[in-house]
Amino acid sequence: MAAVKLPVKVRMGVRDLWDPSNSPLNQAISAISSNIGKQIDILVDWGMLWTVFGHQHPDPGTFVPYFEEAVKFWASCLQERLDNDSLESWTDELLEKVKAAGGNNIKLEIGVTDDIYGPNRPATEWDDGLGRLKILFPRKGEKVYENTLRAGFSGDFEHLFNEKNAPAAKTGVSTLPIGGAVPGDDEGWSVVPPTASASAPTSAPPPTTATQLQPTLAPERLPSLQSLGRPEALFETTTPYLIYVRKYSDKELHIEGSHQGSLTLLCEYFQKWVRKDRNYNGNVVEFEKQTSLFGVNSGFDYVKITCNRWELLNPTPFLAFIEIVLKYRLVEASSGVTWFYRRDHLIL
Q: At what angle do helices 46-53 and 63-83 cross, to 10 degrees?
A: 110
> What does the radius of gyration of the chain's CA atoms come to, in whole angstroms?
26
Q: Which of 127-131, 138-142, 213-217 has the lowest mean pLDDT?
A: 213-217
pLDDT band at 169 (very low <50, low <70, confident <90, very high): very low
With contact defined as beta carbons under 8 Å apart, do 240 and 344 qualify?
yes
So what's the pLDDT on residue 196? 42
Task: Give the DSSP H/E element, type plus range, for residue 303.
Answer: strand 300-307
Tell me the per-residue pLDDT of 243-257, one tens digit each, with 9 for 90 and over: 999 998 889 999 999
The mean per-residue pLDDT over the stretch 130-155 comes to 82
Of 83-87, 222-226, 292-296, highest mean pLDDT: 83-87
| pLDDT at residue 205 greater than cutoff 60 | no
pLDDT band at 57 (very low <50, low <70, confident <90, very high): confident
Q: Is 109 helix (H, G, I), strand (E, B) or coil?
A: strand
So what's the pLDDT on residue 239? 86
Q: How far apart are CA 126 and CA 159, in angstroms?
A: 10
| pLDDT at residue 307 greater than cutoff 70 | yes
- The more confident residue out of 156 and 340 is 340
With contact defined as beta carbons under 8 Å apart, do 306 and 252 qualify?
yes
Going from the C-alpha of 179 to that of each of 43, 119, 124, 307, the distances in angstroms are: 10, 24, 19, 59
So what's the pLDDT on residue 190? 39
Residue type, 319: L
With contact defined as beta carbons under 8 Å apart, do 1 and 181 qualify?
yes
pLDDT band at 187 (very low <50, low <70, confident <90, very high): very low
So what's the pLDDT on residue 33? 92
So what's the pLDDT on residue 109? 94
Number of C-beta neighbours around residue 145 at 10 A: 18
| pLDDT at residue 53 greater than cutoff 60 | yes
Average pLDDT score, the chain: 81
The mean per-residue pLDDT over the stretch 65-77 comes to 92
43 contact partners, CB below 8 Å, separation of at least 6: 107, 108, 109, 110, 132, 178
So what's the pLDDT on residue 184? 44
The mean per-residue pLDDT over the stretch 29-35 comes to 92
Q: How far apart are CA 342 and CA 321, in angstroms?
A: 13
CA nearest 272: which of 256, 261, 257, 283? 283
So what's the pLDDT on residue 194? 43
The mean per-residue pLDDT over the stretch 98-112 comes to 87
Q: Rounded to 5 degrees, what are φ and ψ at 56?
A: -85, -5
Residue type, 129: G
| pLDDT at residue 170 greater than cutoff 60 | no
With contact defined as beta carbons under 8 Å apart, do 98 and 123 qualify?
no
Q: Which of 42-51, 188-197, 241-250, 324-333 has the lowest mean pLDDT?
A: 188-197
CA nearest 71: which of 61, 59, 83, 79? 79
Number of C-beta neighbours around residue 225 at 10 A: 7
Of 146-150, 196-200, 336-340, highest mean pLDDT: 336-340
| Boundaries of every domain in the chain | 8-192, 231-343
The mean per-residue pLDDT over the stretch 284-293 comes to 87
Q: How far apart are CA 112 and CA 65, in angstroms?
A: 17
CA nearest 136: which of 150, 120, 148? 120
Q: Is 8 helix (H, G, I), strand (E, B) or coil?
A: helix
| pLDDT at residue 94 greater than cutoff 70 | yes
- The more confident residue out of 15 and 158 is 15
Q: What DSSP string runs through 237-250?
A: HSSPEEEEEEEEET
Task: Give the DSSP H/E element, type plus range, for residue 97.
Answer: helix 88-100
Q: How far apart are CA 143 and CA 247, in angstroms?
A: 37
Predicted TM-score (pTM) above 0.75: no
The mean per-residue pLDDT over the stretch 188-193 comes to 40
Residues β-bridged to residue 137:
112
63 contact partners, CB below 8 Å, separation of at least 6: 7, 9, 10, 13, 49, 50, 53, 54, 57
- The more confident residue out of 87 and 237 is 87
Task: Give the DSSP H/E element, type plus range, for residue 331.
Answer: strand 329-334
